[in-house]
Chain A
Amino acid sequence: MSHGGNAHGYPTPPPSSARRVLGHAVARIEDRPLVTGRGRYAGDINFPHQLHMRIVRSPNAHGKILSVDASAALAMPGVLAVWTNADIAELSPIDFRADKNATGIREFRQPALAQTYVRYIGDPVAAVFADDPYVAEDAAEQVALAIEALPVVMSASDPPGEFEPGRSSEAIVLHHSFGDVEAAFRNAHAVIELDLQTGRHSGVPLETRGAIGVYDAAKDLLELHGAAKIPHRNRETLCRMLNRAPSSLHLHESHVGGGFGIRGELYPEDVLVLVAAMRFERPVKWIEDRREHLMCANQGREQRHRARIAVDRDGHILGIEDEIFHDQGAYIRTHGVNVPNRTMCMMTGAYKVPAYRAKARVRLTNKTPAATYRAPGRYESTFVRSRLMDAVAAKLGIDPVEVRRRNLITAQEMPYVIAFDEPGVEALEFDSGDFPALLEKALKAFGWDKLQADLKRRRAAGELVGAGVAIFMEESGRGPSDNAKIKVDPDGTVELITGGASLGQGFETVMAQICAEALGVDYRRVRVIHGQTDLIDHGIGAHAARATVLTGGAVHVTATMVRDKALEFASELLQTPADDLDIVDGMVMRRDTKGGPSIALGDLAKRLAPGSKLLRGRDPQLAAHGWYNTDHTVFPYGVHLAVACVDRDTGRVAVERFMVAYDVGRAVNPLLIEGQLVGGCVQGLGGALSEEFVYDEAGEPLSATFADYLMPTVHDVPDVEVLLTEDAPSPRHPLGLKGAGEGGINGAGGVIASAIDDALQMSGAITRLPVTPQRIRDLLRR
C-alpha cells in the first residue's frame, strides 16, 4: 500500500484562494484541552504502584569519583534503591542517533550515570528510587559523594585539556571547503578578519523534562511515556542500547510544553527509568525540576569564530575562511557533531561565495553538554556572516544593504548547488527562491529609506539609534520518508495517524488542514494522532522544520489515496464517472450540478465494512496507508530588519521595531506560521541581548534560576512585524511547502548586532552575543 511521492519538478501549487482550507488562517484544533486545564503533560501521567527517581548530581565541574556512600539514604523509609554506574555497568552510554556519523567521537558519549569521572556540575552520579518524589529528593541529599577535583577547561578557545588520561578534550576537527581559497585571498582588494562569539543559551520550554518507564512483564513490553520530538527515532536508539526488538519497546507522547530542539532528545534520565522499570518491575517516574533543567538539559550556541573575508573593490565576495571553536560542553550527546557541521555548511548563506574553507574544532569543556537549539548552526553562522558583510560595507564605504544586494544568489541561478570538497559532506541544493526580491519587499514594507532619514535626524539630536539587516537561508524537510494512515469512520470522523510529534506548534491543525483539503472534509473532523510508536511503525517526529513538509507530504499522499478510493467507489454507487465527482464537506457529489445524487464519506465507509456485499474485490474500509519519500531538502529563506535604540547612560538596548520577512513556499496556515516566526524571534532576541548561561572559573553555573537566566518578557520585545511571502514554492514538494520553525530566530543575533553598531555609529563594535548593557557601556566608555 505504498505510494512513492515523486520528489522532482512538481507543478506550481495553487494559491490559497483556490483552496478550501489549505493555506487559510483557520483556528487551532488542539487548544480546547490546553486552555481548559485538561492538558496531559508528563507530570500528569501516573501509574499505580509507581516509583520515583531523583538524580544525585555532581557538585564538581571535573573530578574523579572516589566513593559514593548511599547508606544513610538507603536507611530512610520509602527508599528502595540507590544506583551508581556499577549498577548499570552493562548499559552503553547514551547513543547517537543512527544517522549520525560517529567516527572518532563515540568515546565522548555520556554514560547514564557517571563512570569514574564527573565532567560538569549536574552530571548524574547516582539515582535514588523511592515511593515518593520528595522522599527520593530527601534521600538524594543524604548520598555522600567523595570526588577528587581535577583541573577544568572552561573555554573552547583555551588550549584543550584531557578528557580522560591520554585523550584530548578536542574531540574532533571538522572541515568544509570548496574553491581556491588561497587564490581568493591572494587576489583580494581587501581582507577583513573578525573575532566573534555567540553566547551559550538554549531553548527553555515551559514544561521541564519528564519520563515515565513502564514494564509489562506479562507481555515483555517496555514503554516510555513523556516522550517528545522524535519518539520513533528515539525508539531506534533505545532498542540498540537496551537490545530489544522495536515491537517490544514503545514510546508515547502526551502534551508537550515546548521543545525547541532540546526537549525530547534522549538523556540519561530517560534510559534510567526504563532500565529501572524492568529491574524493579514497577513503573518509574522522573520529573525534572527547573534548577536541574537549567543545569542539565541541552544548551547551545557557544562558539568563537576567527573569520576572514576576501572581497574585490566593489564588495563582491571572493572567499571566506573561518576557524570555529565549538564549545561542546562535557559530552557529545545524541546529535553527534551536527551543530558545528550545520554551522559550517550554512555559513555562506544566500550569497555567491566562490571559495570557502571552514574548520570547526569541537572541544569539550566542563559545562553542561551542548546540542541543537532552534536553528542550530544557523543562528551562529548568520551572526558571523552578517558581521562580515557589515565589515565589508564599512571598509569599502558601501551601503550595507547594497553590499548584500551585490552578492545575493539570484532567482535565475536556481536551483543553486553548493558542493563541498570533503568526501561524504552533503551538498546543499537550493530548490527555489528569489532572494533579491524578498530583500526589496522587506525594505519597502519596513519603510527603509524613510527610516534612514528618521534615524539620521534622531542621531543628530543626540539619540543612539540605528537599524540593521540580516539575510539568511533555512533548510527544512530533509528526507528520506514519512508515512501516514487515514481511516474514515462510519460517522464521517477521519482518523489520521502520523509518526509526527507535537511540541505545541500546531501540528494537529496543520495535518488536519492538509488531510481535509485532499479529502474534502471539515478539518475539525480530523482526529490527528502523533507520537505513538505502537500505532504506526515509522515517524519523523518534529525537528529541523520537518513535520509540515515531510509528514505533511505523507498526509497529502495518503489523503489523496483515500479520496481516490472514495470517488471510485462512489462513482459505482452513484452511477457517475469519478472525474465528475467532488467531495465537499464530507459529501461526495457531482461537480457540475447542485442537488444531484450524493453520498456521505461515512456512508461509503459503512458500505466498505468487512463482509460488505458491495466490496466486490476491494479491500475493506475507507482507509489508506501512504508514504512520502524524498531525497531532497527544501530551503526557505528570510530577511530580518530591526531598529535598536541604546540608552547611552545605562547601555540598555530597546528594540523598537523588528520585521521578519520570510518566504515559506506555500503556507499551510499563515496564522500558525506567524506564531512560529514571532516566537522564534523573541527567543532570538533573548540570545542576542540577555540570555546567557554563565559559568564561573571553577565551572559553577551562575544562571541556574530564572532570576539569572534572563529570558525576554512581554515588556522587552516589540510587536514583531511579519511579512510572509509565497513567491518560491518548492518544486520538490507536492504542495510547494517549506518549513517555518526557525525563520524567526535565525537572523536575530546578526540583525541586532548590525542595528546596535549603527546606533552607536561604531562599525564592528559588536563582536559578541549577547549584547548586555554592561558590554555596551564598556564600549561607550572606551
Chain B
Amino acid sequence: MARPVPESPEPMKPAAFRYYTPKTLAEAVAVLADVASDDGRILAGGQSLVPIMAFRLAKPTHLVDINGISELARVTVADGKLKIGACVRHAAFYQPVCDGPLGKLLATVVRSIAHHPIRTRGTFCGSVAHADPASEWCALVAMLDGEMVAQSKRGQRVIAAKDYFAGIMTTALDEDELLTEVRLPLLPADARVGFQEFSRRAGDFALGMAVVTYQVVGGKIATARVGIGGAEPSPRRIAEAEAALIGKPPGATAFDAAAVAAAAAIAPLEDFHTSADYRRDLVRAMTRRALDSAAV
C-alpha cells in the first residue's frame, strides 16, 4: 500500500493532514479502506475541497490524492455509453468528447462551470462526488439517468442517478468508496438538447438551472427529459414538466406549460439571495429558455 508522504515539517494554512499519492486504483482503495473511517478523503481537482480546507471548515486527517492514477484519466465510449474517469477535468469537455448531441451538450454545459483556471483542475467525477446542489454535471447526470461506478476494497457497484443523489452534498457513496467513473447514455442523433442557468455573476454557482433533451417525431414531442438543478437539495428529472411536453408540438405553448409545471413541482431551497418564490421564477425562466435553446 502507498505510504504517506513523510509528514511535512512545515505547518500550513489548512489544519494538518497526512498525504498519500497512490499510483493505481487498487492502491488508492486500499489506502482509503484504512483511513476513511478516520476522516480520510479523496483529493481530486481540489477546487471544492481545498478552499474549504483553507478556511478550516474541513479538516480531513488524511488526503488520498488520486491525480497520479493515469488509468482514471480517460474518457471512453463503449456499449452506447460515455464513460468518464475520475481524473477527467472539466476542461476536457470544451470540445465534444463524443459524436452526436451528448458531446455538444457537455461542451455547452462546461462553459457555465466556474472559470477557466478552475476548469483545468476540477474534475467531472469530483463534482458528482461532491454533489453541490448547483453542480451542472450533477444536473446533467440526473437528467440523463447516468450511472456512478463506485469502487472500494470490498468490491465494485454501479449506482443509478435516482438512487445516488441524497441531498445537499450527500450521495449514496460510502466513505471508503472511490467514484471511479460516471457513465452517461449517448443521445440519439435526432435528440435536441438545451441548457440554461442563472447565476449572479458569470462563473458563480447557479441559483437555478434546467438541462433538457427531447425528440420530435411527426411534429410532436415523442420523448422528453427535463432536469432541474440548483433549486432543490438534489438535482432531478421533473416528471410533471416532461409530461407537459409529450405529445405536444414543440413551441411556446408546450414549453410554457412545461416551465410552469417545473416551477410548481419543485420544493425550493431558500436562502438569503433566493426566496422560494424567486427560486420558482428562476426555474420557470430557465426551463423555458432551455427548451427554446434546444429547439434551434
Which A residues contact B (CB, under 8 angstroms)?
132-135, 137-138, 141, 289, 291, 649-652, 690, 694, 696, 702, 705, 707, 710, 712-713, 715-716, 772-774, 777-778, 781
Contacts and interface: CB of A to CB of B under 8 A. Distances in A.
B252 interface: no
B200 A137 contact: no
B204 A707 contact: yes
B278 A777 contact: yes
A650 B13 CA distance: 39
Contact of B200 (A291, A690, A702): A690
21 contacts: A133-B11, A134-B13, A135-B11, A137-B56, A138-B15, A291-B55, A649-B284, A649-B288, A650-B198, A650-B282, A652-B198, A707-B205, A710-B204, A712-B201, A713-B201, A713-B202, A716-B201, A716-B202, A773-B200, A778-B277, A781-B277
A730 to B, nearest CB: 40
Contacts of A774: 273-275, 278
Nearest to B15: A138
Contacts of B272: 694, 696, 702
A777 B281 contact: yes
A141 B201 CA distance: 34
A137 B53 CA distance: 13
Interface in B1-57: 11-13, 15-16, 55-56
Contact of A134 (B11, B200, B277, B282): B11
Contacts of B281: 649-651, 777, 781
Task: Give me the 5 closest cross-chain CB pairs, A-B, nearest first.
Answer: A134-B11, A649-B285, A715-B202, A774-B278, A135-B11
A781 B288 CA distance: 18
B193 to A, nearest CB: 21
Given A134-B12, A138-B11, A702-B272, A650 B285 contact: yes
Interface in B246-296: 272-275, 277-278, 281-282, 284-285, 288
Nearest to B284: A649
A781 B274 CA distance: 14
Contacts of B288: 649
Interface in B192-208: 198, 200-205
Given A649-B281, A713-B201, A781-B277, 8 more contacts: A649-B288, A690-B201, A702-B272, A705-B55, A713-B202, A715-B203, A772-B273, A774-B278
A712 B203 CA distance: 12
Nearest to B59: A141
A774 B270 CA distance: 12
Contacts of A715: 201-203
A75 to B, nearest CB: 16
A713 B199 CA distance: 13
B13 A137 contact: yes
Nearest to B281: A777
B204 to A, nearest CB: 7
Interface residues of B, number: 25
Given A141-B56, A649-B285, A710 B275 contact: no
Contacts of A652: 198
Interface in B132-150: none
Contacts of B11: 132-135, 137-138
Contacts of B198: 650, 652, 773
Contacts of A690: 200-201
A713 B202 CA distance: 8
B15 to A, nearest CB: 7
Contacts of A707: 204-205
B7 to A, nearest CB: 14
A590 to B, nearest CB: 60
Contacts of A696: 272
Nearest to B12: A134
Interface in B167-223: 198, 200-205
Interface of B: 11-13, 15-16, 55-56, 198, 200-205, 272-275, 277-278, 281-282, 284-285, 288
B283 to A, nearest CB: 11
A23 B178 CA distance: 64
Contacts of B282: 650
B208 to A, nearest CB: 9
Contacts of A705: 55
Contacts of A289: 13
B269 to A, nearest CB: 13
A690 B201 CA distance: 9
B245 to A, nearest CB: 19
A77 to B, nearest CB: 10
Nearest to A715: B202
Contacts of A135: 11
A43 to B, nearest CB: 13
The CB with the most chain B CB atoms within 10 A, among A134, A135, A291, A650, is that of A650
A1 B209 CA distance: 70
Contacts of A773: 198, 200, 278
Contacts of B277: 777-778, 781
A291 B203 CA distance: 20
B200 A710 contact: yes
Nearest to A774: B278
The CB with the most chain A CB atoms within 10 A, among B274, B281, B282, is that of B281
Contacts of B274: 774
A54 to B, nearest CB: 11
A652 to B, nearest CB: 7
B91 to A, nearest CB: 19
Contacts of B284: 649
Nearest to A704: B55
Contacts of A137: 11, 13, 56
A289 B57 CA distance: 14
Contact of A713 (B16, B203, B285): B203
B132 to A, nearest CB: 11
A173 to B, nearest CB: 31
A318 B272 CA distance: 41
A201 to B, nearest CB: 14
A73 to B, nearest CB: 14
A332 to B, nearest CB: 28
A746 to B, nearest CB: 24
Contacts of A716: 201-202
The CB with the most chain A CB atoms within 10 A, among B13, B201, B288, is that of B201
A200 to B, nearest CB: 13
Contacts of B285: 649-650
Contacts of B201: 690, 710, 712-713, 715-716
Contacts of A772: 273
A720 B235 CA distance: 39
A292 to B, nearest CB: 11
Nearest to A775: B278
A132 B277 CA distance: 49
A134 to B, nearest CB: 4
A289 B13 CA distance: 10
Contacts of A651: 278, 281
Contacts of A649: 281, 284-285, 288
B105 to A, nearest CB: 22
A772 B272 CA distance: 11
A712 B201 CA distance: 7
A690 B200 CA distance: 8
A127 B143 CA distance: 51
A141 B55 CA distance: 12
A141 B204 CA distance: 30
B259 to A, nearest CB: 10
A107 B56 CA distance: 35
A548 to B, nearest CB: 33
A696 B11 CA distance: 34
A686 to B, nearest CB: 10
A289 B288 CA distance: 42
A651 B204 CA distance: 17
A57 to B, nearest CB: 13
A638 B11 CA distance: 52
A712 B200 CA distance: 10
Contacts of A291: 55
Contacts of B203: 713, 715
